[in-house]
Amino acid sequence: MRDKFKIFIITLVFATLLTCLAGCKQDSPDEPARYVEVVFMCRDNEGAWIDDDDLEIRQKVVKVPYGQACTDYLPEHPTRRYYRFVGWYVDGNDLKFQDREPVYSRISVYAQWIKDEFPHTVKFVIEGQPENTVASQEVPYKGKASVPKLDRSIKWYTNKYYKKEFDFNTPIEENITLYSYYDDFRGSWGNFLTFLNSKDADWFNDENQSRAFVIVDNSAKTTEGIAPAVGEAGAVTIKERDTRITFERDDEDADIDTEKSDEKSVNLSLLSKLKSKSVILDMRDWTSLETLYYRSFRGAEKLTMVILPESVTKIANEVFRDCTNLQLQLPSKLTSIGKRAFMNCSSLTNVKIPEGVTQIGEEAFRKCKTLKKLTLPSTLKVIPYMAFAQCEALPQLIIPEGVETLEDGCFGWCGPMDKVYYPSTLSKVSMFFFIFSSYKLKDSATYNGTKEYWEKNIAPIKPNDDDMPKQYPVLDKNGVEFNLGIFYVDEND
């Protein structure tokens, strides 16, 4: 009997011990369950997930219960144009991720792809012509497109800037669109002026046509002659009114300053009379062109594209002012841009001012309201009065090292911005240079210098001034936050 009792006690103790051991393997009901993160990633330009707002997502993180397989937690496959997803890999895409094996620690895996080798479509677009003017071509993978057979010879380009001519010996590995235009004139600048002057009002007023002009000239050096001089016939009177803040200053062109006059005389170019659907001006083969003359194309609202030769070094005052549909790329040898040269070019979205430009005129890019990308050169020392004022769509501002002076309103009415960078080379800043503009976040702005140097040598309003504004905080290169010392004015005041 005693032996049976001992056996019972031993069995009970053993069972209790097993129960305790089993309990040790489970999470306490008072503790959260344990999870392991698995990070699914697409490398740059190698696929993405697209959300409902068409935003590209490069990374997704899933939480897998500790010790379980990842099979039931895999995200949907990412997508990549012209590629097929083949799986998730670790260790630089050499080792395939085993999603059926238990996971015990955080891991990152990467999407791997193979090129789809199916036929691709080559689409042809001629400016101003119906979409089906030239039939699209289905081309085998790495095959070659054929030159379309037309009743006239034209060149085909890889984008709407008409800069890079397409080589029909290029193997086709993706769907592409090629662009071209029919030219109405091809010849020298002098003959072009004669051509325009020979046309009657019906030709200028034809809204159903798209026009393209190709200038081939190796002698003329400027675009002089397309706009009438002051006082000549052809000048028209327009009314403009701008009630925004003004600054007192001497201006040699005060007679055409919108801030100082309700009514004024402006001299528009011959191209401004065109009522066509669109106008392309191709000057790439004008190899002697150096200067775009004063007001050459001002008010040419139908001018949609200008292709400039690399020989151009100077764009004079108001050359493209009020060309509201203009797109162009600036030539690499450019050194100066005149006053109001691109003012109110409201369709410009990307402006890259090349290295070598040392001068930008006042109000040069004012009212470029759709400008979303601006690249400034390090050779520029001064950003002048209202140079980029009212560029309302500009999401960030990177002022390069080399810039020394920011004048009144040079970035007025811009933003709000996600990012602003001030270079260490700044030595003079107007208290109004950023007026009516703003940052989205207080840590959006950085200064590549120190708080002490700025406050001692640059700040227009010193920290001990009673009227020191509290807006425009910035972080210096050491991460110290301070105030720029420039005026903030509420536009509603």
Tokens of 216: 């081939």
Sign, CA dihedral 13-19-20-22, equals positive
pLDDT at 440: 62
| Phi, then psi, of 312 in degrees rounded to 5 | -70, 125
At residue 264 the predicted structure's pLDDT band, cuts being 50, 70 and 90, is: very low
Predicted confidence (pLDDT) at residue 239 exceeds the cutoff of 50: no
Checking if the pLDDT of 337 tops 50, the result is yes
Residue 427 has pLDDT above 90, yes or no: yes
pLDDT for residue 262: 33
Pick the range with the lowest mean pLDDT from 66-70, 238-242, 342-346: 238-242
Q: Are 308 and 287 in contact (CB under 8 A)?
A: no
Look at residue 2 in the predicted model and tell me its pLDDT.
59
Q: Which tens digits make up the pLDDT trace of 278-297? A: 999 999 999 999 999 999 99
pLDDT of residue 45: 76
The β-bridge relationship of strands 95-96 and 83-90 is antiparallel
CA-closest candidate to residue 282, choices 252, 313, 305, 316: 305
Q: Would you place residue 252 in the very low, low, confident or very high pLDDT band (cuts 50, 70, 90)?
A: very low
Strongest mean pLDDT among 54-58, 160-164, 255-259, 410-414: 410-414
Query: Which range (23-32, 38-47, 135-144) has the least confidence?
Result: 23-32
Superfamily of domain 35-115: Listeria-Bacteroides repeat domain (2.60.40.4270)
Using alpha carbons, list the distances in angstroms from residue 325 to 240, 266, 304, 328, 370.
19, 19, 5, 10, 11
183: Cβ contacts below 8 Å, ≥ 6 apart: 154, 212, 213, 214, 282
Backbone CA torsion sign across 285, 291, 296, 297? positive
Instruction: Provide DSSP, 108-136.
Output: EEEEEEEE----EEEEEEETTS-TTSS--
| pLDDT reported for residue 249 | 37
**What topology is assigned to 118-182 in CATH?**
Immunoglobulin-like (2.60.40)
Strand bridging mode 59-65 / 481-483: unpaired
Q: Is 200 exposed, middle or buried (0-12, 13-18, 19+ CB in 10 A)?
A: exposed
Measured distance CA(406)–CA(386) in Å, rounded:
10
Question: 325, 304 in Cβ contact below 8 A?
Answer: yes
Cα separations in angstroms, 121 against 137, 155, 253: 6, 19, 53
User: Average pLDDT of the chain?
Assistant: 83
Burial pattern 150-167, b for ≥16 Cβ within 10 A else e, equals eeeebebbbeeebeeebe
The answer to whether the beta carbons of residues 166 and 140 sit under 8 Å apart is no
Tell me which of 429 and 94 has the higher pLDDT. 429
**pTM exceeds cut of 0.85:** no
Q: Which residue has the tokens 């600036």?
A: 330
Say which amino acid occupies 118: F
Q: Which of 456, 488, 449 is nearest to 472 (CA)?
A: 488
Residue 306 has pLDDT above 60, yes or no: yes
Residue 402 region by backbone torsions, left for phi larger than 0, else alpha for psi between -120 and 50, else beta: left
Q: What angle do CA 454, 460, 464 make, to 5 degrees?
A: 80
